Amino acid sequence: MAERAFDVRRQRGFTTIAVLCFVALYAPMVMLVFYAFNAGNSLSDWQGFSLRWFVSAFSNTQVIDASIRSVQIASVAAVISTVAATMAALATTRTPPYPGLTFKYAFINQPLMVPEIVTAVALLIFFAQIKVATGYAGLGYLIAAHTAFCVPFAYLPIRARLENMDLTLERAAADLYATPLKTFRYVTLPLLWPGVLAGLMLAFVISLDDVVITNFVKSGGQDTLPTYILGQIRRQVTPEMNAISTAFLLLSILIVTLFFLMAKRRA
């Protein structure tokens, strides 16, 4: 009698462990959304359904300013980091293996292995010296910090896509005297587009959600939505924070769904 192929889903306790993991992941989010509609001031005592905290949040100019600033920084950082990651992925995959290639791959992904607090402190010291020398204290530092931190997140899906792509069409384009630029524009990029979208989405979400690096690098009056929420929680916790977090969660879900549909349609 032939042995059945190994399937982790048939292992004893798999379903129970999987359900517990999902409960641990999503139960806090469900509670967060639930109490965002609480009519009272309590975070744990349900006092009726109401949209008062959403109205309060959306009429709060600090929340609006922080939200706009978060989207601006995340958008610019995601685009720049995705372009840089695409070039890095092309340089490390569309080349014969050579000594030092593995080191370059590890160097690009180094921010993933370094604790974020270490990166934040290093950026704080580095940018502080530039601020003193130039007198500039704008959003450029946050954009630069987020871009550098997001490059490896965009790099990984783009590189994975390139490694799984067949080189036949690119070689055929070269045989037909297409320049490297035209080959990339008309052959490589259309095939690579799902990976680019995935990298862009991941970089955007990581930038939008960042707290540690932003908290160290930002100047006065440059709060993003996550740092604003953190600051408010330190002072007073109200269901308004639940409402802001719920809106933030819905925005993230909408962005991920949008990029997923775009990538699926493109594929």
Over residues 157-211, the pLDDT tens digits come to 999 888 888 777 878 887 787 888 888 888 888 888 888 888 998 899 899 888 9
Nearest partner of 34 among 22, 21, 19, 50, judged by Cα: 50
Task: Read off the pLDDT band of 32 (50, 70, 90).
Answer: confident
Nearest partner of 215 among 234, 202, 204, 231, judged by Cα: 231
Overall CATH class of domain 61-266: mainly alpha
In whole angstroms, give the CA distance from residue 54 to residue 37. 8
Over residues 82-123, the pLDDT tens digits come to 999 999 998 888 777 778 888 888 888 888 888 889 999 999
Question: Which residues face 38 on adjacent strands?
Answer: 49
Is residue 247 within 8 Å of residue 54, measured between CB atoms? yes
Is residue 211 within 8 Å of residue 228, measured between CB atoms? no
pTM: 0.82
Over residues 38-75, the pLDDT tens digits come to 888 877 778 888 888 888 888 888 888 988 999 999 99
Nearest partner of 143 among 202, 200, 217, judged by Cα: 217
Q: What is the mean pLDDT of the chain?
A: 85
Cβ burial, residue 169 (10 Å; 0-12/13-18/19+): middle
Is residue 85 within 8 Å of residue 154, measured between CB atoms? yes
Question: Which residues face 49 on adjacent strands?
Answer: 38
